[in-house]
Chain A
Amino acid sequence: MEQRLSDPAADPHALQRSTLRGNAESIGFAIMVAALVVTPFFTYPLFLMQAMCFALFACAFNLLIGYVGLLSFGHALYFGWASYLSAYAAKAWGFTPELAILTGTATAALCGLVAGLLAIRRQGIYFAMITLALAQMMYFFALQAKFTGGEDGIQAVPRGHLFGVIDLRNEAAMYVVVLVIFLAGFLFIHRVVNSPFGEVLKAIRENETRAISLGYRTDRYKLIAFVLSATLAGVAGATKAIVLQLASLTDVNWPMSGEVVLMTLVGGLGTIFGPVVGSFVILVMQFKLAAMGEWVLVIQGVIFVACVLLFRRGVIGEIANWLRIRL
């Protein structure tokens, strides 16, 4: 985190900057909301809904890597399993969409708790490997389990009626629901990051030993952050299953875990808007380049390399650094 702001006390512009920072975040948020309200009139709503699900997923992932410094390489587990359970609940048990999404979210929270308890005992590459191993275990479980439908996934998931009233087969209604879920998730993450709890998380990121010496039980903080991140990833996955009416192996397989890392990196690690921008960039790219087949992956690889070599702070991170604000 080399772009850390300098100590406010030593900086004469600190006060000015902190109000500027608050303003920049509000302005950024207003721009984002405005864009998400206006764009469905110009582009394909289904694509935007999907992009918002991925954006929330990336934000949830960023909560862990950007603010606690834990690189999880198994976030597909929570995203994918939430989408399976949400799809299954809606299809086989006839749950209404909000209950289906809650079912998926609860599944992700539970998986996050178990995986988190095991994984947070280790750090760095070991942490990443443990999360990856657990995610792959659950991937093979999804592959073999009867109810997930193997390679076919769970197809033709009914969108149903929200609260039993609002028909979600209407694209506009579905869009509003996804928008609300996304914004709620986004604001929740913003709140967490800017709370005293979030400050402790950042302290752990900067220097865990020091945080321990100050009397914080860092394992607990890390576990809570892990579960929160998994839960929010679950919200995203569960919503995606309802939107696309499909839950499939793609969402639970390891490339998905890699994709979310890429989205976060391209957008800007540890910035609140970065993952949103990153996921839109990656998805638009996949969407526009779909005709080029396997070249999409090659191009993604090139972008990843360019991102690491040329602008390490990501799109938003670079802009923020350039304008000397925090986004």
Chain B
Amino acid sequence: MRKILGLATLVVASACGGANAQQVTVKVGVLSDMSSLYSDIGGAGSVAAAKLAIADFTKANPNVKVELISGDHQNKPDIGLQLANQWYDVEKVDLIIDTPNSGVALAVSQTSNAKNKVFVVSGAAASDLTGPKCNANTVHWTYDTWMLANGTGKALVKTGGDTWFFLTSDYAFGHALERDTMAAVEKNGGKVLGKVRHPLNTNDFSSFLLQAQASKAKIIGLANAGGDTINAIKAGAEFGIVKGGQKFAGLLVFASDVNALGLQTAQGLTLTETWYWDMNDANRAWTKRWQAERGAPGKFPTMVQAGVYSGLTHYLKSVVALKSATDGKAVVAQMKKTPTDDALFGKGSIRVDGRKLHPAYLLEVKAPSESKYPGDFYKLRATIPADEAFRPLKDGNCPMATG
């Protein structure tokens, strides 16, 4: 029996191409915010997701050896850039993944291009990554600002929220989200009454909220994320903004933020995500494993963390197909050539500009009375199909797409 099995393995192995048996070593770096306002969105949860992806992949492909390191960019482009350089030059990392904070991501994207490595963005949002600043070494996986604007912004204007005031995080991500949402609002017949920019990681939102209140806009668009969104919404509750008839639009709200805010404060928020843990059985099963790996039973994975799993899986597949991770551009070309398929995001594809395409979901946060169990956050309001969810290729001004 054993002999036959061994023979069978040999035949299968040779059928898959003899060279497959040779050992492929890949080194992956999770560059994330480990200690500050985005650490719940990516951070240790992204490392856990990467570990799961590696465990699943190496189980199916024992000839692949994957090493994993992680680092904290502290939301500072200079530290992120320094770490990325050091990882590529000294640690011989082949792939950097995650990287919330668009300012850092844009810097790392350029370095990855210059050093011909691969950068899979899951945490950062700026649509510029596949727009004017796209390059042949970067894949933008989970979501982007255009998608958020097109999902949440459009939905809110259609349901009567036609005057807007923006609270914008003052860096690449906030600017991109504000720009894309303003375009979506105006295109659908809404009006933008004003905007104010706040520094990243702000604790005191009072002066900004007073300006928003004075604008009398129906919707206060929060073009920020993570800790900033949480602080703004909490402060807004203290200022009686919602009681005064104005409404917050969290343009980027993650499951971890809803968890932190509590349903009492967050109920009724409309938001757009590309992945929700309670959407299907595969997601729920993965969430259990993630919670065990993360050692945090009360936490729920965000779409960013799921994107790390999905993106890393697809990357590893492409490396195995090429049998080498050394040429970053070749690996990314291979990633674009093969359709994506994994347990969490299902079937999808990567466009020539590096944009990963999959459906997006317009969700609404449940009231505490509707929520039946921990983590039961959302009602699904609409599904936006993959070909409508993201910015059309021609509008992106990516030099690779226009040729």
Contact = CB atoms under 8 A, between A and B. Distances in A.
Interface of A: 44, 46-47, 50, 143-144, 150-153, 155-156, 244-246, 248-251, 290-291, 293-294
A244 B171 contact: no
A246 B76 CA distance: 11
A250 B76 CA distance: 7
Given A44-B89, A291-B70, A293-B72, A153 B103 contact: yes
B268 interface: no
A248 B81 CA distance: 11
Nearest to B78: A248
A314 to B, nearest CB: 26
B49 to A, nearest CB: 18
> Which of A152, A245, A293 has its CB near the most chain B CB atoms (within 10 A)?
A152
A151 B89 contact: no
A244 B69 CA distance: 23
Contact of A251 (B78, B197, B199): B78
A183 to B, nearest CB: 23
Contacts of B83: 290
B300 to A, nearest CB: 22
Contacts of B175: 150
Closest 3 CB pairs of A and B: A151-B171, A152-B103, A294-B35
B34 interface: yes
Interface in B184-217: 197, 199-200
B81 A151 contact: no
Interface in B102-154: 102-103, 106-107, 110
B5 to A, nearest CB: 43
A152 B90 CA distance: 25
Contacts of A144: 170
Nearest to A46: B85
B270 to A, nearest CB: 27
Contacts of B72: 290-291, 293-294
A276 to B, nearest CB: 20
Contacts of B348: none
Interface in B165-182: 169-172, 175
Nearest to B44: A293
> Which of B69, B86, B103, B110 has its CB near the most chain A CB atoms (within 10 A)?
B103
B292 interface: no
B353 to A, nearest CB: 19
Contact of A246 (B34, B70, B81): B81
Contact of A44 (B71, B86, B171): B86
Contacts of B197: 150
A150 B77 CA distance: 11
Contacts of B106: 152, 155
A46 B86 contact: yes
Contacts of A294: 34-36, 72
Given A290-B83, A294-B35, A153 B77 contact: yes
A246 B106 CA distance: 12
Contacts of A293: 34-35, 72, 74
Contacts of A143: 170, 199
A319 B83 CA distance: 33
A153 B78 contact: yes
B107 A151 contact: no
Contacts of B81: 244-246
6 contacts: A44-B86, A151-B170, A151-B199, A290-B71, A291-B69, A293-B72
B86 A47 contact: yes
Given A143-B199, A151-B170, A155-B110, A250 B79 contact: yes
B375 to A, nearest CB: 26
Contacts of B78: 153, 244, 246, 248, 250-251
B23 interface: no
Contacts of A46: 82, 85-86, 89
Contacts of B34: 293-294
Nearest to A290: B71
A151 B110 contact: no
Given A250-B79, A290-B72, A294-B35, A151 B86 contact: no
> Which of A44, A50, A290 has its CB near the most chain B CB atoms (within 10 A)?
A290
A55 B256 CA distance: 42
Nearest to A44: B90
B70 A156 contact: no
